[in-house]
Amino acid sequence: MSESLLPWLDVASAEGSSPRTVDAADQAAPLSEVVGALSCALDITEGQPEGHALRTCMIGMKLAERMGLSEHDRSALFYALQLKDLGCSSNAARVAHLFAADDRRVKKDFKTTDWPRLISSMRYAARNVAPHGSLIQKLGRFVAIGVGGPGEARTMVKIRCERGAAIASMFGLPRATAQTIRDLDEHWNGRGHPEGLRGEAIFPLARVASVAQTVEVFLEAGGLDAALDMAKKRQGKWFDPAIVKALLSLRNDTKFWAEVTGPDILRAVAAHEPPDLVLTADAGRIDRIALGFGQVVDAKSPWTQKHSEKVSELAVGIGRAMGMDDAAVRDLRHAALLHDIGKLGVSNAILDKPGGLTDDEVAAMRMHPAFTHRIMSRVRVLSRIADVAASHHERLDGKGYHRGLTAKQLSKPARALVVADMCEAISAERPYRDTIPMPDVLEILDRQVGSGVCPEAFEALKLHLDVVGYTPSRWSDAPQACAA
């Protein structure tokens, strides 16, 4: 991943530092700062360079200003543009399975393909199916995609749009924000997805967002002329002609385009939020955002449905049994909900691979806590717990990953999270076995006490289970839409 796109966000590393708890009043922050930084996690799931959603936001808001949209419309659009890909993880497993390929690469190519045209979509499929497979495998995947056809594509877009809209609603954003996400992939000529809406039947803000997101992809890939040429060609097909006209009128605004492609994108984006309608992220909203992004992570793989939520349930119980105060428990809950957010940067071809992983695949998988640290460090109100979240695969004996921390370097909340994560992962149902009964899970953990697992955290887990109990996750309860 690029290191330099959002340099102002590279706050002093929290790695190795002790977590600091704060009270709820300290947690209020501009909402745009929180979702803007987290939007980079959605970018990498879509195979886009970090900053894609932020640049899309800049372009969409400039169009909205040029078109004279009301402050309320611009406020709803502002968040829809940054969170448009909230549902992106929900079809990642399906994409990886269908193409037998890295879902991020397949999705990236999709963004520059004129997919309603048969010849374009066939070339797209030929480019992307089973890139490392034999001719027979390629043909098999090609046929599978052909059999699924437009119906399969429509289903995948529907899953993404509806899931994204539902999570945006959880964040307490305007209904128009959710509606924009829902209609994002509809086309002016009625050949888009998921409903095939035509012309003015498409939600107006979604028409703006559709232009903005596609222009950003072409701008990044080929520059401004390529982006504007694409928009002209798709005028009246993909896009509302009035919005393309507004876009073309921006051609000579060199200051604006320099800002879009410049290094200070988060600050530039914040300046486009309607000043009288600036939203804040108070403690309650941050809680909902952590829960929502936890769901985005869990939706990435059918084998991890509810993982983050269940880990947070266990971590909170362990934290309380270890005597943590309310603020510390709240921080631990957020760290637990977001601990695997770095998995959004790992291909489902690895996450869901049946059988053993190659050395390179293991190395890629083991990078996910580092990605978690990187993403969370960028969100000011979450940065103090980035270290805890990113330590969930560490062990007391230093044989864990990704930093090989030792007992002295692992804080109490980090130790609690390690035990919660292990308990959920060991107990959950897998494609090759049923759930594991809790007495057996405790026996497995007990064998690692002192070497991998903190004795105090383990005792706290047992205390929590005695009082509250726990039901292991069943992957077979996962929504069918996510099953690979």
Residue 34: CB minimum distance to Fe ion, A = 22
Residue 331: CB minimum distance to Fe ion, A = 17
Q: Which residue lies nearer to Fe ion by CB, 5 or 428?
A: 428
Residue 305: CB minimum distance to Fe ion, A = 13
DSSP H helices, 366-434, are 368-377, 386-389, 412-427
379 with 388: CB under 8 angstroms? no
Residue 104: CB minimum distance to Fe ion, A = 18
Q: What is the CA angle 350-354-355, rounded to 5? A: 100
Count of residues of this chain found to bind Fe ion when the rule CB under 5 A is applied: 2
Pair of tokens at residue 140: 């098999």
Q: What is the DSSP string of 300-355?
A: T-GGGTTHHHHHHHHHHHHHHHTT--HHHHHHHHHHHHHTTGGGGGS-HHHHT-SS
Amino acid at 214: T
Q: Which residue lies nearer to Fe ion by CB, 273 or 421?
A: 421
Choices 161-169, 170-178, 294-302, 416-424 (CB under 5 A): range interacting with Fe ion? 416-424
Q: What is the CA angle 353-358-361, rounded to 5? A: 70
Q: Which residue lies nearer to Fe ion by CB, 393 or 464?
A: 393
Choices 20-28, 146-154, 325-333, 421-429 (CB under 5 A): range interacting with Fe ion? 421-429
Q: Which residue lies nearer to Fe ion by CB, 240 or 298?
A: 298
Residue 304: CB minimum distance to Fe ion, A = 7
Residue 33 within binding range of Fe ion, rule CB under 5 A: no
Residue 85 within binding range of Fe ion, rule CB under 5 A: no
Answer for which of 73, 85, 340, 387 binds Fe ion (CB under 5 A) is: 340
Q: Which residue lies nearer to Fe ion by CB, 102 or 340?
A: 340
Element (H, E) at 280: strand 280-281
Tell me, what DSSP letter sits at residue 449?
Answer: B
Residue 421 within binding range of Fe ion, rule CB under 5 A: yes
Closest among 220, 369, 270, 358 to 33, alpha carbons compared:
270
Choices 88-96, 194-202, 223-231, 414-422 (CB under 5 A): range interacting with Fe ion? 414-422
Q: Is 343 a catalytic residue?
A: yes
**Per annotation, catalytic residue among 343, 353, 408, 412:** 343
Residue 23: CB minimum distance to Fe ion, A = 28
Residue 430's DSSP bridge partners are 433
* Helix (H/G/I), strand (E/B), else coil: 406: coil
Residues 477, 428: Cα–Cα separation, whole Å: 11
Q: Which residue lies nearer to Fe ion by CB, 189 or 448?
A: 448
Tell me which residues touch Fe ion (CB under 5 A): 340, 421
Catalogue the active-site residues: 343
